Amino acid sequence: MQKLLNFSEKLGLTLLIPFIKMAMKDEPGKQMIEIIKMLGLPAAALLIFFSLWGLASKNIKTSVGTLPSPSYVWGQAKAMVADARAEKLNKAEFEFYEITREKLYDLLTKRRALEAAGQSVNAVDRERSQFAATIQTRIDELIAEEEALSAQIEAATAAAEKAGLTDRRIAPYETRVLKFYTDSKSSLISLLSKNTKIDNAIADLKSGDEKKIKSADRKRTAYENQLSNPREYSGNGSIIDYINRSIITVLFGFALAAIIAIPLGILCGMSKNFMTAVNPLIQTFRPVSPLAWVLITIQIVDGVFVGDKALKGDLINNPFLHSAITVALCSLWATLSNTALGVSSVSTDYMNVAKVLKLNWFNRIIKIVIPSAVPYIFTGLRITLGVGWMVLIVSEMMATSRGLGWFIDQQYQNNKVESLANIIVCIFIIGIIGAILDRIMFILHKSVSFNDEVSA
């Protein structure tokens, strides 16, 4: 129990402490009051917040309509989750299609090879027709799914009509999935039809009609070429993808900031002259807005990674670098100045010990200066990550890196109430992730600080 208590204290989970103490029978009455305070006051504040919001939503007119109410936003959050689920399914369908296409293409290549070698193609043709039958089975399954889904949507629509509901988000998951199933079905049908056309062309090749043979050969090659091209996933992604991308970007930018700021900060703290030299630069760059940094970053990165050198990965691409570097540029200052402060304010006691031990310059830095500055460095890193997360959203908007910032910007351009509600959902997501990141940094900070109190 005591351990659990220490653990909660360490993690700053102040909410748990009275519960644990109560379980330990440590002044249960007092703990009860504490719990009521700790849960009740935030709950009351939340209640007031949501009712004010609810009131405001009835009265405030935005440029796209009335401000969405809390319940409307909640509905939109659910629709976004539905979207994410559907997107996952879409990816699975895409993978299925790709595997199917590859297999079919393999069989056709095998057939070509056998033809060229003058061997019998019967076996491979049989295999191909069996495979076509399995594709057909899948198509039938999809048709059945479609029917079931559209029945569900119809029922939901009828119910909404009856209830006189006024929003558009009826059966969002089913609607999306229906579309994906339809797309998937069409893709498979088109795969099958290409297979059939190749069969027809092969049949034509045997017809003996000179003209027919020529065009059949051309057709067969064209269809086979089409089947040979691997597809890239062209879905639009979901909120989960945006969140992942944003987190990876901010961590990348954060790491970059740390790699730049900590050594520079150590230098600044070690050498007064160095500090004097670079201080004007630091003071000048520190207050610069991400909006300005991102534009310069875009130009520089696009100048370096240009043409064939451009980064075209799904994750690591030019816009990713734009936003990550912007995050680093805006956020590294806190770590830089805190590291410098930590290093320059290393206790004379430690330095006296170092002198008595005759530690050389390098060992003094490694064994005394840096370790004693670690709490300061972590204070800086915590601020850096916080600032970085704030800056990220803006930089993603500007750099069109497909994270949360980009998504918000897209929604803004949609100019409708649903999009406004989506933006509000994103604000909550951003806030919650920011708080979690800060909590993680808090725990790290606490674990490396020896005696300083770390404020939660």
Based on the shown chain and the rule CB under 8 A, indicate whether residue 225 belongs to the binding site for another protein.
Answer: yes
The CA distance from 455 to 125, in Å, is: 72
Strand partners, 65: 62
Task: Establish if 261 lies at the interface with another protein (CB under 8 A).
Answer: no
- Distance from chain centroid for Cα 159: 35
- The 3-state DSSP class for residue 286 equals coil
Indicate which single residue of 35, 170, 248, 444 sits in contact with another protein (rule: CB under 8 A).
Answer: 170
We find the least distance from the C-beta atom of residue 122 to another protein, in angstroms, to be 28
CB 214 within 8 A of CB 400: no
Angle of CA points 431, 425, 75, to nearest 5°: 145
Contact between 179 and another protein by CB under 8 A: the answer reads yes
For the CB of residue 443, give the shortest distance to another protein in the complex, in Å.
17
Range in contact with another protein (rule: CB under 8 A) among 8-16, 264-272, 350-358, 426-434: 350-358
Tell me whether residue 18 or residue 239 sits nearer to another protein (CB atom): 239
Report in angstroms how near the CB of residue 10 gets to another protein at its nearest. Answer: 13
Among 37, 95, 286, 456, binds another protein (CB under 8 A): 286
**Interface with another protein (CB under 8 A), residue from 416, 428, 432, 440:** 416
Give the per-residue contact string, 375-404, with another protein (x = CB under 8 A; - = no): -x--xx--x--xx--xx--x--xx-x----
- Nearest of 238, 254, 246, 239 to residue 440 by alpha carbon: 254
Distance CA 324, CA 119 (A): 58
Of 242, 333, 389, 442, the one binding another protein (CB under 8 A) is 333
426 lies in the binding site for another protein (CB under 8 A)? no
Among the candidate windows 106-114, 187-195, 269-277, 426-434, which touches another protein by CB under 8 A? 187-195
**Closer Cβ to another protein, 35 or 295, answer by number:** 295
Choice between 126 and 168, CB closer to another protein:
168
C-alpha distances in angstroms, 453 versus 38, 310, 342? 22, 47, 15
Q: At its nearest, how many Å lie between another protein and the CB of residue 312? A: 7
Residue 144 in contact with another protein, rule: CB under 8 A = no
Residue 116 near another protein by CB under 8 A: no
- Tell me if 153 contacts another protein by CB under 8 A: yes
The contact pattern for another protein, residues 231-260, with x = CB under 8 A and - = no contact, is xx-x-x------------------------
Q: Are 404 and 426 in contact (CB under 8 A)?
A: yes
Site for another protein in 35-64 (CB under 8 A): 63
Per CB under 8 A, the list member of 6, 134, 136, 186 interacting with another protein is 186
Closest CA to 150 of 106, 185, 123, 116: 185
The DSSP letter of residue 250 is H
Distance CA 291, CA 263 (A): 26
List Cβ neighbours of 438 (8 Å cut-off, separation of 6 or more): 382, 385, 386
Of residues 136, 154, 300, 304, which one binds another protein by CB under 8 A?
A: 154
Instruction: Give the interface size with another protein as a residue count (CB under 8 A).
Output: 102
Instruction: Copy the structure tokens of residue 224.
Output: 């086979």
Contact 223, 197 (CB under 8 A): yes
What is the spatial distance between Cα 169 and Cα 172, in angstroms, rounded to a whole number?
6
Residue 390 has which token pair?
């704030």
